[in-house]
Amino acid sequence: MATVALKRVYEPAEPEDGTRVLVDRLWPRGLRKDKADLDLWAKDVAPSNALRRWFDHKPERWEEFEKRYRAELAAPEAQPQVESLRAMTRKGHVTLLYAARDQSMNNAVVLRDYLRKRH
């Protein structure tokens, strides 16, 4: 499997990013779509609106958020999107883009780890 990297969507694109995939359900604030420099917006693989609102980027909810989000990723309805991302990782380097300020507690971290373990 090729590497799967993480990057804030606000950071400039670089050639080594490979395929750039935004994995947030909502479009990032203040970012114009024509300036986003991404290959795919995979909003259907992002946490559900209910889970996203519940988590609210509160560190004390992180472990439970991880557990719930992994369950959403494992659900049958998420499999087409998850498999599409897996296929991309087999072809080359993929960078998962996210808007959250916290670099260690966001949905892209969980998704990257999920893709690595389930490949």
What is d(CA 39, CA 36) in angstroms, rounded to the nearest whole number?
9
- What's the pTM? 0.92
Residues of the chain with pLDDT under 70: 1-2, 118-119
Q: What is the pLDDT of residue 116?
A: 87
The CB density around residue 66, as the number of other CB atoms within 10 Å, is 17
Q: What is the pLDDT of residue 5?
A: 96
Q: What is the pLDDT of residue 94?
A: 96
DSSP-H helix ranges across 1-119: 49-55, 62-74, 79-91, 107-117
First to last CA, the chain: 8
User: Rounded to 5 degrees, what are φ and ψ at 96?
Assistant: -85, 125
User: Rounded to 5 degrees, what are φ and ψ at 11?
Assistant: -75, 150
